[in-house]
Amino acid sequence: MGFTPMIEQYLKIKSKYQDSFLFFRLGDFYEMFFEDAKKAALELEITLTSRDGGSDERIPMCGVPHHSAQGYIKRLIEKGFKVAICEQVEDPKIAKGVVKREVVQHITPGTVMEGSMLDEKENNYLATIHFINEENFGLAYTDLSTGETITAIVEDGWHAVITEIANRPIKEIVLKEDFPDQLRSELKERYQFTISELEEEFEIESQKALLSSLTNDNLKRTCNHLFSYMFYTQKRSIDHLRPAQEIELKEYMALDLYSKRNLEITNSLIRNEKYGSLLWILDKTVTAMGARKLKKWMERPLLSKNQIEKRLTVVEGFQQQFFERQTLREHLTAIYDMERLAGRVSYGNVHAKDLVQLKNSISRIPSLKEILNQFSNKEIMALSEKIDPLPALFEILDKSISDDPSLSIKEGNIIKDGYNEQLDQYRYASRNGKQWIAELEKKEKEKTKIKSLKIGYNRVFGYYIEVTKANLHLLPEGMYERKQTLTNAERYITPELKEKESLILEAEEKSIELEYELFLKIRDQVRGYISQLQELADIISEIDVLQSFATISEENNYVKPNFSTNKVVQIEKCRHPVVEKVMKNGHFVPNDINMDKEKELLLITGPNMSGKSTYMRQFALTVIMAQIGCFVPCEKAVLPLFDQIFTRIGAADDLVAGQSTFMIEMLEANNAIQHATSDSLILFDEIGRGTSTYDGMALAQAIIEHLHHHVQAKTLFSTHYHELTSLEDNLERLKNIHVEAEEIDGKVVFLHQIQDGAADESYGIHVAKLASLPDELIDRASVILKELEGSNKGKIKESEALDQLSFFPADEKKSKQPMPKAANSKTVEAILKLNILEMTPMDALNELYQIQKKLKE
């Protein structure tokens, strides 16, 4: 026994959307069947029912009301699912057999357009990755809601691709069938991206324009795949898409996945939320467009000194004129998200209230220009010159759209009186008829002496005269024609009432139809201004971000940074912008940071909780703030331009990938070692602590030596291995610094001050005491410590210990470390033959294990 024709229709459509929930329109509901129904009922927490579908067994079914479907769709999209909307595309009254249905929109995490489903302060990117070879990839991502598309060639392998996509709010990735399976699995399983495929690429005329600015064939293929997917899923006009913008990644500072996380740039480590991040401090924007642009700037700091200084000049100008800046902020607050409003106009899901928001926003632009011209700063005045107030568009909207329109564009009350003569005539007929109805009610009350008599209306019976049963005896026989009997009343009609009803309803129906037609024409007129609206939104968002920088700089006493060309770092009284904001006592201890060509590697010692990690992080955050064009938290700052920042701070297992803390530590260290240049900044915190003491110390020293001899990047390296401080004698560009602490009455007091030289002791037991470990445990630890210190006296001199730990000499010619005395042994010969720079961290650990095993034997 087969299925019913309707279920057959459902299955045929569903076969084309196997990876999506099919919302199948039946009357006032979207229904789902079979496995879709079971899964949707679970994910949406709605009732699972069943129906007869013509087969022997009943078919699982669930549904959601058409009028409230958006909320359910949003929940599915947020969980990474896709939804295909299948509508009735012919009138059921004229359909022969099953009503024709088609998928009219395919909503996926990367193609969301509804404002209620989007975070107004964050982009919503759809991306594609084109595999060129093992080292080179084409990358493109677009935000359908704003129309921007960014594309670039990634030349540094798969890790660089992960860095790019992990640093962007990408919600979905479209891949070709021939994309490597291993990389596809990593994207889906480890990084939890929604992965989609497009079976067939195509090119339409509008796509050629979107690719017109690209010269690289690989990027053209990459973007064509992305645009094909969007046209395939959206099935409607997306004219607001702007031509793909090719960027050169080497023109921006590189912040890898680890650094963004460790430095808490956009999200805090503990709660993974905005609070406690650098973004939380810097975001004083007052428009949604500005908030999105700020985040993009933070994810991609500049390397161009000219561009940075141009931003800083504007920030300085805003900061110098407080009252004008406050007036500017007030005007910006009244500007809606024009970027996404323009997208919705093109997309066709804009309603009348959106156009009112657009009109109100445009109405603020002339006064915004006037305010900008009140600043004496030439760069600010130049921004004002770029602003087009779009007077013609304002006039179109002001004359046509009602100030308080209906939300639905198919219910009337969206067009102003006086805009269209025919509409005014319909409205007059409708309003005059309703006045006639009101007068008739008054007249009938007087005629019948029934004060409770009323004339009402419903969609089933139209207009009627209602009389309660208690007053029926007052009606003369045959005065009205009975229409409906209720429990407590009777409803009547008269020929005159029906005639007037016909006129009123006809006028209202034609009025609503005409309003809808007029609205579509107005929308098409607005569509002609989309590119100008996007340019206007871009300038306003830039102004918003720069005034935000000026506002936070004034509030927090930040200063304008300067940039050196000789790689000098000179920061006086540097502060951590987030820590100083959240400190309860409000007193943050600032510190200086000084580095040059003779002092490129700072080895930091000191007890736990003393502030080593904070010192390192505040340096990196100061660099990022400077290179996005913001003032910085210190009293003076001279900085070089850093091309990359690498970090290894904090301990975090990657259980999903099956990697331990130590493995993550080695991977992050290797990433810096392999990719850092002499213009990079490296922050390593407690490298080697994830393994045994001697293994850790050996690795730490080898890494320090390699960074010093070969990488020569500005490096801050904190450690608890006090023995490593002797490296200052052998490595000319390494300097010891320490965080000062004092022992007062048997208790350690952290001064949080950075001083030259190495720390005297680690204060580990004192820190444990501060953490309130049991007294008997602390006492026992003190005894053990004295025993260990006593047993080690005279056994191995510090320099000899370091020599024995130098398993991986960086370069025999450069290193001043003497070779081990047992250099003629087979074990040492085997070590010397190892090509450390070509080994992975895991290979190195395996070799280390084999060496240790042989030595034990």
Partners of 491 in the β-ladder: 466, 484
Q: Is residue 607 part of an annotated ligand binding site?
A: yes
From CA 544, how far away is CA 538, in angstroms rounded?
A: 10
Q: Is residue 629 part of an annotated ligand binding site?
A: no
From CA 617, how far away is CA 29, in angstroms rounded?
A: 54
DSSP 95-132: -SSSPPEEEEEEE-TTS---GGGS-TTS--EEEEEEE-
Please count the other Cβ atoms lying within 10 Å of the Cβ belonging to residue 675.
18
The tally of CA atoms less than 13 A away on the side-chain side of residue 484 is 14
Find all residues with CB under 8 Å of 512, minimum gap 6, and list them. 410, 411, 412
Which candidate, 33, 39, 41, 27, places its Cα nearest to that of 14? 33
Q: Do 80 and 43 contact (CB within 8 A), yes or no?
A: no
Q: Is residue 813 part of an annotated ligand binding site?
A: no
User: How many residues are given for the chain?
Assistant: 857
753, exposed or middle or buried, with CB in 10 Å at 0-12, 13-18, 19+?
Answer: middle
Task: Give the end-to-end CA distance of the chain in Å, rounded to a whole number.
Answer: 76
Q: Coil, strand, or helix at residue 214?
A: coil
Q: Is residue 610 part of an annotated ligand binding site?
A: yes
Cα of 720 vs its chain's centroid, Å = 37
Find all residues with CB under 8 Å of 66, minimum gap 6, and list them. 25, 28, 29, 30
From CA 766, how far away is CA 305, in angstroms rounded?
A: 46
Phi/psi region, residue 597 (left: phi>0; alpha: psi -120 to 50; beta: rest), is alpha
From CA 265, how far away is CA 270, in angstroms rounded?
A: 13
Q: Do 506 and 432 contact (CB within 8 A), yes or no?
A: no
Helix (H) or strand (E) holding 261: helix 257-262
**CA angle (536, 315, 572) in 5-degree steps:** 150
Over 386-404, what HEC string results? Answer: HCCCCHHHHHHHHHHECCC
Please count the other Cβ atoms lying within 10 Å of the Cβ belonging to residue 195.
16
Q: Is residue 454 part of an annotated ligand binding site?
A: no
Partners of 458 in the β-ladder: 462
Q: Is residue 688 part of an annotated ligand binding site?
A: no
Q: Is residue 613 part of an annotated ligand binding site?
A: yes
Q: Is residue 343 part of an annotated ligand binding site?
A: no
Which candidate, 724, 696, 763, 753, places its Cα nearest to that of 602? 724
Q: Do 759 and 728 contact (CB within 8 A), yes or no?
A: no
Q: Coil, strand, or helix at residue 774?
A: coil
Over 433-467, what HEC string results? Answer: HHHHHHHHHHHHHHHHCCCCCEEEEECCCEEEEEE
Provide Rg for the chain, Cα atoms: 36
Question: Binding site residues for ATP, as ranges?
Answer: 606-613
Instruction: Give binding residues as ranges.
Output: 606-613
